[in-house]
């Protein structure tokens, strides 16, 4: 590419004075061949020469016509070169953006493929670990979503329920049990439950939905029962000189309140509620295990057994050490479907007792004046509620503090 008048004249095969004269006629002032010439100057020269040719007002000799034609041709060549470079760089930028777009689409595709599972034959592993409740990691919504994902993947050859839980909510457990039974009806895909340390209570409720159950010889299996815990604190309030007052509309609205004496009819009603849930649990186990179950009077009493003891009872199908179930789970090609990041939390059954002990200690430590009744009652009620109930997840731990007792 020519950058000076002299270079441009050599490219056009004409003398420098002739080119300077033409440039001057075109309105481009150049004094010597060393002067730089820009693409705009060349365009001005080209426009001038075209104008002369179109108007016919200039008498041009044959040699001059050839010179001007070569000049025009040179300018056109230069213009084409410049356009080619512009197009080239435009393609470079377009290619760069297309590459970025492809990378982004590929990342998104990988995420989609990761969410839909492996594209080769595999075993889908669904973990059920920790407390089973609506606000824990092992909740029905997330686990059912994982199960549906596993059953929808055509490359899944089996589903393993990787269980390590002592139980939890009968509602959450029942929903997962029914989801497994429904999905098995929609697609003939074998489901295996593999119990680690524990598969008890609500966790065994879920395991009963599997085609086969495997456990370690030392695993805890069973606990087919329902529990609800509460305790009263009337005597404590009496010792503190407190008289709780609760106003209700409805004879049993203050059902089994800790600050009220037990009523036989309410105790009977609560027992009927637990018995009803217990029968739902028993039916699920019977339906899931079928003729393999060797029922005994103690089987549905809430007792639990080791995996070795559970085998002859028909609660499990084989010991894990005699079956490659665990090795299958640990294979790297298997799709371990995570529900949420695991945050295993152990139930704190004695929290209410600790709170009550602290409450009494705080009350004894207050020497000036009488305790504020509302504050003590709320603290005692909170302690009773936290003492335990029907398979509820423990509340978030907070630092215990004595209530402020005004003087």
Of the listed ranges 32-46, 213-227, 244-258, 335-349, the least confidently predicted one is 335-349
What's the pLDDT at 334?
A: 55
Query: Would you call 201 a catalytic residue per the annotation?
Result: yes
Q: Indicate where the chain has its CATH 3.90.226.10 domain(s).
A: 121-223+303-346
Collapsing DSSP states into helix, strand and coil, what is residue 330?
coil
Is residue 106's pLDDT more than 60?
Answer: yes
**Of residues 171 and 326, which shows the higher confidence score?**
171
168 DSSP β-pair partners: 132
Collapsing DSSP states into helix, strand and coil, what is residue 216?
coil
- Confidence band for 1, pLDDT divided at 50, 70 and 90: low
- Confidence band for 91, pLDDT divided at 50, 70 and 90: confident
Find the catalytic residue in 13, 253, 294, 322.
253
Distance CA 139, CA 147 (A): 12
Distance CA 99, CA 26 (A): 46
Percentage of the residues of the chain whose pLDDT score is greater than 90: 34
Task: Identify the CATH class of 121-223+303-346.
Answer: alpha beta
Q: Do 219 and 247 contact (CB within 8 A), yes or no?
A: no
Q: Do 123 and 160 contact (CB within 8 A), yes or no?
A: yes
Query: Would you call 14 a catalytic residue per the annotation?
Result: no
- Confidence band for 329, pLDDT divided at 50, 70 and 90: low
CB-based burial of residue 304 (10 Å sphere; 0-12 exposed, 13-18 middle, 19+ buried)?
Answer: buried
What's the pLDDT at 185?
A: 92
Collapsing DSSP states into helix, strand and coil, what is residue 332?
coil
Find the catalytic residue in 136, 146, 165, 201.
201
213 DSSP β-pair partners: 193
- Confidence band for 375, pLDDT divided at 50, 70 and 90: very low
What's the alpha-carbon Rg for the chain, to the nearest Å?
43
Distance CA 303, CA 296 (A): 11
**Of residues 169 and 9, which shows the higher confidence score?**
169
Residues in the chain: 407
Mean pLDDT of 206-222: 93
């Amino acid at each position: 590419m020519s950058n000076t008048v002299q270079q441009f004249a050599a490219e056009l095969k004409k003398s420098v004075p002739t080119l300077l004269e033409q440039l001057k006629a075109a309105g481009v002032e150049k004094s010597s061949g060393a002067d730089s010439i820009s693409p705009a100057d060349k365009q001005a020269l080209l426009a001038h020469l075209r104008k002369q040719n179109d108007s016919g007002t200039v008498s041009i000799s044959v040699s001059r016509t050839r010179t001007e034609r070569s000049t025009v041709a040179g300018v056109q060549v230069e213009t084409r070169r410049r356009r080619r470079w512009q197009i080239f760089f435009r393609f470079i930028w377009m290619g760069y953006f297309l590459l970025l777009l492809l990378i982004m689409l590929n990342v998104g595709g990988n995420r989609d493929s990761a969410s839909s599972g492996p594209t080769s034959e595999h075993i889908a592993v669904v973990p059920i670990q920790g407390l089973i409740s609506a606000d824990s990691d092992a909740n029905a919504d997330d686990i059912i979503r994982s199960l549906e994902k596993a059953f929808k993947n055509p490359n899944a050859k089996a589903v393993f329920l990787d269980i390590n839980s002592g139980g939890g909510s009968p509602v959450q457990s029942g929903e997962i049990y029914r989801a497994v039974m429904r999905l098995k009806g929609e697609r003939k895909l074998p489901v295996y439950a593999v119990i680690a340390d524990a598969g008890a209570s609500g966790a065994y409720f879920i395991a009963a939905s599997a085609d086969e159950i495997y456990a370690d010889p030392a695993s805890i299996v069973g606990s087919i029962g329902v529990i609800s815990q509460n305790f009263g604190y009337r005597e404590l309030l009496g010792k503190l000189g407190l008289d709780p007052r609760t106003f209700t509309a409805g004879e049993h609205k203050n059902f089994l309140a800790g600050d009220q004496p037990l009523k036989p009819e309410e105790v009977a009603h609560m027992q009927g509620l637990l018995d009803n849930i217990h029968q739902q649990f028993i039916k699920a186990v019977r339906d899931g295990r079928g003729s393999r179950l060797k029922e005994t009077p103690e089987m549905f009493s809430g007792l639990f057994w080791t995996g070795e003891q559970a085998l002859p009872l028909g609660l499990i199908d084989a010991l894990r050490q005699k079956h490659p179930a665990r090795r299958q789970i640990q294979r790297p090609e298997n799709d371990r479907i995570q529900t949420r990041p695991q945050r295993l939390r152990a139930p704190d059954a004695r929290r209410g007792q600790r709170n009550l002990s602290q409450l009494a200690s705080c009350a004894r430590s207050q020497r000036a004046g009488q305790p504020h009744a509302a504050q003590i009652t709320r603290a005692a009620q909170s302690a009773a509620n936290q003492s335990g109930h029907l398979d509820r997840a423990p509340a978030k731990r907070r630092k215990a503090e004595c209530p402020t007792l005004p003087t």
